[in-house]
Amino acid sequence: MNAESRDRFVAEFRRVEAALPGAKVPWVVRARSLALARFADSGLPTLRDEDWKYTSLARIEKRAFRALPSGAPGSAAPPGLAAGLAFDGLPGHVIVFVDGRHVPALSHIGGLPAGVIVGSLADALERMPERLEAFLPDDTRHTVLGALNTAFMSDGAFVYVPRGVAVAEPIHWLFIATRQDAALHPRNLLVAEEGAQATVIEQHADLGSVACLTNAVTQIFASRGSVVEHCKLQRQSPEAIHLAGIHALQGQGSRFTSHSIAVGAALARHDITATLDAEGCEAELNGLYLAEGRQHVDHHTRIDHARAGGTSREHYRGVLDGASRGVFNGRVIVHPGAQRTDAHQANHNLLLSRDAEVDTKPQLEIYADDVKCTHGATVGQLDEAQLFYLRSRGLEEAAARSLLTHAFARDVIERIRASSLRAHVERLLLARLPGGAQVREPA
């Protein structure tokens, strides 16, 4: 533990705590205090921590990131700021945050079904804190970085979908960073009541080369019979640090799908958990990470089968070039009594250079005897026989390599249901590949 960095974060909290949303709400103040105490007790994770043995946070310890002052720093953002980051042809609702604060002038919320709320978490904490009390206090399953987020949470998206209501169009949360050395702690909350349906796209980007720290947490509560799809696209600049937690709690018969697409940041880490807390739940976790140069991208997942009859699927793929490094740690826990569990987990990695590296560790922990569980992982390079075949058909080497890499990644891309996001991710992939322009995008 680096005491200096720990003390710096604690001092930053004391500097801004009076201006944080909900500063006069007793349960919010208590939650922040407990979370800060948890962080102060342990500090930032180190390589000695088992879950962080491949991922160093030395970049954070060496740089003094500053929490932003109160107010809305993004309120003066130019009208076209978000235009280049929107998805072409994507219908739906867009709520924009600049440097961690909601900017209504850049947001567009269309017509919503009765009772649906799509807005700012900071606004909800000020106007209706009683609706959030059951959801926001820090969860012991969150990492210590999640506790740090609870202490500093300033704004984020709040979506509430009442019982039996389906939001037909996707809800796009767009987070744009513009300030150097800023420490941003967005907190997002999605609550889907019984039988509700919603799709959310969470995107993190920045303008230019912004060396900032993003420490985000997204909480999802999927009640009985609800259907929730969460798509995360992290495309921050190569100077940024992006740390995030996505945590879903599922009710009986609910279906939760997570897509995590990571293409940016010098250091990116996602902790994704799904707790199947009632019978008959279904969870699907998909991920694609593209890294080059000296990027480091880490996915830690945990699926808890806490009740009988649950089904889970994990499909993660990584494409690594240059001297980049990827980490995947997938943990599936079948708890006592969770009979008839059906779980499958797969992680496949493609190394495009000799200096790229990946550490993969799929895990199954089974404490029930009537289950069907499998897992597997692979690390490899492009198949020389396939390259030879494509070259023999007239393709240049760069185009042949791009075609095979594209085919490898499409297994995950095709699982994204939102067609505009799917096409956008495909374009990001092709832009990364030498000869990618020669690979025809599917119609």
7-40 pLDDT, tens digit per residue, is 899 999 999 999 999 999 999 999 999 999 999 9
**Helices 397-413, 419-432: crossing angle, 10 deg rounding:** 150
Query: Can you give the pLDDT at residue 61?
Result: 87
Q: Does the pLDDT value for residue 77 go beyond 70?
A: no
Q: Does the pLDDT value for residue 55 go beyond 60?
A: yes
Is residue 85 within 8 Å of 95, Cβ to Cβ? no
Q: Does the pLDDT value for residue 443 go beyond 50?
A: no
What letter does residue 131 receive in the DSSP assignment? G
Is residue 191 within 8 Å of 221, Cβ to Cβ? yes
What is the enclosing helix (H) or strand (E) of 312? Answer: strand 311-320
Percent of the chain with pLDDT strictly greater than 90: 74
Q: What average pLDDT does the segment 92-121 reach? A: 92
Query: Can you give the pLDDT at residue 72?
Result: 47
Q: What average pLDDT does the segment 206-218 reach? A: 91
Query: Between residues 214 and 207, which one has the greater pLDDT?
Result: 214
Query: Can you give the pLDDT at residue 429?
Result: 83
Q: What average pLDDT does the segment 64-92 reach? A: 65
For residue 409, give the nearest of 318, 297, 346, 291 by alpha carbon: 318
Percent of the chain with pLDDT strictly greater than 70: 91
Confidence band of 95 (pLDDT split at 50, 70, 90): very high
Instruction: Write the CA distances from 305 to 7, 179, 228, 334, integer angstroms.
Output: 38, 41, 18, 5
Is residue 231 within 8 Å of 256, Cβ to Cβ? no
Instruction: Write the CA distances from 291 to 206, 314, 323, integer angstroms.
Output: 17, 20, 9
The model's pTM: 0.93
Q: Across all residues in the chain, what is the average pLDDT?
A: 90
Rounded distance between C-alpha atoms, residue 90 and residue 310, angstroms: 33
Confidence band of 388 (pLDDT split at 50, 70, 90): confident
* Number of neighbouring beta carbons within 10 Å of residue 343: 24
Q: Does the pLDDT value for residue 411 go beyond 70?
A: yes
Confidence band of 75 (pLDDT split at 50, 70, 90): very low
Q: Does the pLDDT value for residue 442 go beyond 50?
A: no
Rounded distance between C-alpha atoms, residue 208 and residue 177, angstroms: 9
Is residue 411 within 8 Å of 404, Cβ to Cβ? no
5-15 pLDDT per residue, tens: 888 999 999 99
